[in-house]
Every structure is written in C-alpha cells, then in structure tokens.
C-alpha cells in the first residue's frame, strides 16, 4: 500500500474531521441534558460568516473565532428559550434555527463571497513529534491548533461527563428530570447551559471552516456538516471519546472517496449526511429502541419545573 497515500489520507481526514468533532461534542452535551438541537447547521453557518467578517475586518482570526462562538451561543439561547421555556417542539425549533441561520448568513455575507481571508489561522507543528516517521507527517505536521484543541476538549468533556459531579448532574437531567428536580437540581438551568454550550461549540466549528480550513467565505460553506455532526453524536452513543473516532472515520471516508474515485462514487457522498441524519433520528424516535443504543431517557421531552 502506498505510504504517501496513507499519510495524506490521515492528515486530511484529521483536518476535515475537526469541525465535525467540535459540533458533535456540543451536541452530545445538549442531548445528554435531554434537548435535541437540529439547529447545529444554522449555528455553524452563522459562526462561519460572523467569524470571517470579524476576522477580515480586524485582521485577527482569533477575535473572529471568539465572536463566532458568541453568535453560536446566542442562536442556541434562542433555541433553548423556544424549546425549554416555551416547551415548543424541539425538532421544529431546531429546524427553524437552521433555516434562519442559512438565510441570515447569506444576507450578511453577500459582499464577502469569494473573498480570501487576509490573515488566516496558520499551521502548527508539534516539536519532536513531527519528525517521527509516518505518524509525524500524518498527525503532527501542518495541522491547525483547533484540531489539537478539539482532541483535548473531547478528553476533558469525557472526564467531566463520567467522573465529576457536574457530569452526573447533566446525565441525571437527561435521564430523569423528575428525579433531578426532586434532588434539588434546577433542570431548566442545566438544560439551558447545555444547549448554549452546544451552540458555542457549533459556532467554533463553523469559524474553523472560514478562518482556517478554507479561509474565505462562500454561501452554504458548511455543506451539511451540521447534520453530519448531529448524526455522529448519536452514532458515537453520546460519548465524547467515541465522537473522536466517529468524526475521524467519516473524514477518512470523505478523503478516500476523492482519492480513489475509481472505487467510490463521489456523488454518493452528498447523500450521506442526510442518510446518516435520517437513520440517527429514527433511532432516537424509536423510544425504547433508541434507548437500547444509550440514548438519554428523556431526550426530546419537554419538562416544566415542579412536574411529578
């Protein structure tokens, strides 16, 4: 097997999987609290356009990243208000956020279409590790800082979820909000924080695209990545570390589909995000069947504080 192809595939898959991982991690925490967020795509695209506009205007991609995170959080706050406070259908609210985000991003970015970013995020090489044979060029050379930060964040979120009081609280709210309420946990507050956190992560994921991976702005540049992230969160069984592997595998398949066009039909790839999402939503909608995969017991169910 061609070593160069292996190295290239791993490196490109890692870069491509970065926004999927960030967005999927945020969705995992939101769903662990019992809230489905179909607005990830809209939050990502808003983060991408606002990150680019601020980064282009100020010359600081990191300031653009910060603004993108805030915009994603604000969009998620709107979703939280509609679905948690008003107790509206979570699926409808999320879809509305996505439609709104796609439309607003096109409006805000219409004067920036095709414009390259003046000061994009640069590559980083890890000293020592980048000189290792094969794995050095594949994993530790010419990657973005957000790629490595995503892996660190995934490990931290896994630890918090399973080994801290905060994680136990989050899981309790998603499994049995009634029990959490009885124990004195403010279910509404926990769900709000989890959803907003998910939006912040989606905003960062979108900004990575316009500030690093493809440092420019183009309409619909997320190209269904939000839907893929939603599906990955479910296929990872709502586990942050499994999400790393799931995101990387999808990135590898995406890369190989173009490297080996004689084997894979690239046109089929455009269908995959939607197929994955449909399958994932079916799993959640199956109720007991979905819970057999590890879905939180109260996922998608509204809750009013004080209910018994």
What is this structure's pTM? 0.91
User: What architecture (CATH level 2) is domain 3-287?
Assistant: Orthogonal Bundle (1.10)
pLDDT tens-digit profile of 194-235? Answer: 999 999 999 999 999 999 999 999 988 998 899 989 989 988
Rg (CA), the chain: 19
Handedness of CA 289, 292, 294, 299 (dihedral sign): positive
pLDDT tens-digit profile of 107-127? Answer: 999 999 989 999 999 888 888
Token pair 């964040």 is found at 153
- pLDDT band of residue 261 (cuts 50, 70, 90) is low
Largest CA distance in the chain: 62
Instruction: Return the percentage of the chain with pLDDT > 70, whole number.
Output: 87
* Domain residue extents for the chain: 3-287
The answer to whether the beta carbons of residues 97 and 198 sit under 8 Å apart is: no
Could you give the angle at which helices 187-208 and 225-235 cross, rounded to 10 degrees?
Answer: 130
Strands 143-144 and 123-124: antiparallel
Q: Which residues contact 12 (CB under 8 A, 6 or more apart)?
A: 251, 255
Distance CA 27, CA 31 (A): 6
The candidate with the shortest Cα–Cα distance to 19, out of 243, 296, 234, 303, is 243
The answer to whether the beta carbons of residues 42 and 101 sit under 8 Å apart is: yes
Q: Which residues does residue 122 pair with via DSSP β-bridges, in sequence order?
A: none
Distance CA 174, CA 182 (A): 14
pLDDT at 131: 74
More confident residue, 251 or 61: 61
Angle at CA of residue 290, ends 284 and 296, nearest 5°: 80
More confident residue, 147 or 295: 147
pLDDT at 293: 60
């Amino acid at each position: 097997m061609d070593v160069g192809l292996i190295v290239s595939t791993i490196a490109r898959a890692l870069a491509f999987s970065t926004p999927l991982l960030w967005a999927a991690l945020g969705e995992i925490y939101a769903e662990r609290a019992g809230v489905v967020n179909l607005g990830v795509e809209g939050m990502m695209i808003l983060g991408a356009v606002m990150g680019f506009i601020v980064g282009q205007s100020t010359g600081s991609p990191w300031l653009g990243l910060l603004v993108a995170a805030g915009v994603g959080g604000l969009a998620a706050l709107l979703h939280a208000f509609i679905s948690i406070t008003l107790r509206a259908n979570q699926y409808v609210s999320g879809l509305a956020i996505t439609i709104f985000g796609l439309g607003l991003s096109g409006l805000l970015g219409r004067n920036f279409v095709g414009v390259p970013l003046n000061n994009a995020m640069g590559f980083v090489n890890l000293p020592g590790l980048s000189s290792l044979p094969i794995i050095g060029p594949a994993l530790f050379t010419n990657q973005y800082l957000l790629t490595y930060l995503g892996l660190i964040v995934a490990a931290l979120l896994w630890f918090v979820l399973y080994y801290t009081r905060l994680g136990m609280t989050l899981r309790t709210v998603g499994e049995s909000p009634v029990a959490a309420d009885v124990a004195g946990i403010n279910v509404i507050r926990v769900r709000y924080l989890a959803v907003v956190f998910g939006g912040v992560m989606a905003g960062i994921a979108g900004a990575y695209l316009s500030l690093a991976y493809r440092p420019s702005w183009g309409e619909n540049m997320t190209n269904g990545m939000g839907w893929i992230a939603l599906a990955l969160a479910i296929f990872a069984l709502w586990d942050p570390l499994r999400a790393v592997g799931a995101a990387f595998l999808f990135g590898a398949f995406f890369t190989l589909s173009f490297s080996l066009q004689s084997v894979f039909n690239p046109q089929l790839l455009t269908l995959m995000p939607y197929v994955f999402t449909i399958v994932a939503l079916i799993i959640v909608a199956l109720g007991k069947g979905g819970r057999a995969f590890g879905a939180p017991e109260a996922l998608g169910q509204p809750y009013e504080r004080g209910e018994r």
